[in-house]
């Protein structure tokens, strides 16, 4: 199989999750689309020149997140971008999931990024750690705190049956 065929198969499966994760993290669909396109183009270039990365998804997320961070550092609009939320999929106003996305959007940047990579992108905790450049234990602690905060926020808006993800209610 040619490198481009293997890339195309990977891309078809990975790109939707990458884009959804980046929309949540960037809070701007246009920026997320640009970053995802750039990261995938760089992955294809690497794939053709040196072969597939050991873990193409983790490699691409790392490239995308680094690009996004560079954009934020250069942009005077960073605070405006952080304040906005564009859900990864259209939601009805009365849909309880809108409260979840609002709560996720209110998380601190590191927690929001970890949640997006773990639960939207479907990366494992070691992959999330690699993408974020932090220890696996830090990922676990960040996700635990994020789940607890999300549970508190969702309970506060009246969504019953929500727990912090640790089974303790």
In a domain, residue 166? The reply is no
> What pLDDT score does 127 carry?
92
* Number of domains present in the structure of the chain: 1
In a domain, residue 165? The reply is no
Where helices occur in the chain by DSSP H, the ranges are 3-26, 29-50, 56-74, 78-83, 97-105, 109-115, 125-132, 136-156
pLDDT-derived band at 77 (thresholds 50, 70, 90) equals low
In a domain, residue 43? The reply is yes
Q: What is the pLDDT of residues 39-74, one digit of tens each?
A: 999 999 999 898 888 999 999 999 999 998 888 777
pTM of the model: 0.58
> What pLDDT score does 121 carry?
87
Question: What is the Cα–Cα distance from 20 to 88, expressed in whole angstroms?
Answer: 5
- As a whole number of Å, the end-to-end CA separation of the chain is 50
In a domain, residue 162? The reply is no
Question: What is the Cα–Cα distance from 27 to 105, expressed in whole angstroms?
Answer: 8
Q: Which domain holds residue 65?
A: 3-156
In a domain, residue 44? The reply is yes
- CATH, residue 97: 1.20.140.160
Residue recorded with tokens 């601190």: 108
Share of the chain above pLDDT 90, in %: 47
> What pLDDT score does 64 carry?
95
Q: What is the pLDDT of residues 101-132, one digit of tens each?
A: 888 888 998 999 999 899 888 899 999 999 89
């Amino acid at each position: 199989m040619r490198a481009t065929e293997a890339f195309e198969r990977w891309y078809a499966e990975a790109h939707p999750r990458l884009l959804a994760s980046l929309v949540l993290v960037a809070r701007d669909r246009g920026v997320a689309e640009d970053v995802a396109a750039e990261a995938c183009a760089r992955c294809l270039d690497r794939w053709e020149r040196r072969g597939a990365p050991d873990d193409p998804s983790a490699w691409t997320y790392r490239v995308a997140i680094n690009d996004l961070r560079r954009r934020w550092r250069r942009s005077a609009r960073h605070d405006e971008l952080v304040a906005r939320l564009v859900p990864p999929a259209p939601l009805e106003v009365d849909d309880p999931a809108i409260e979840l996305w609002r709560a996720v959007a209110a998380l601190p940047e590191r927690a929001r990024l970890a949640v997006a990579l773990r639960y939207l992108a479907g990366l494992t905790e070691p992959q999330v750690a690699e993408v974020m450049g932090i220890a696996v234990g830090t990922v676990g602690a960040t996700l635990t705190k994020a789940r607890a905060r999300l549970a508190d926020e969702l309970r506060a808006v009246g969504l019953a049956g929500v727990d912090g993800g640790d089974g303790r209610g």
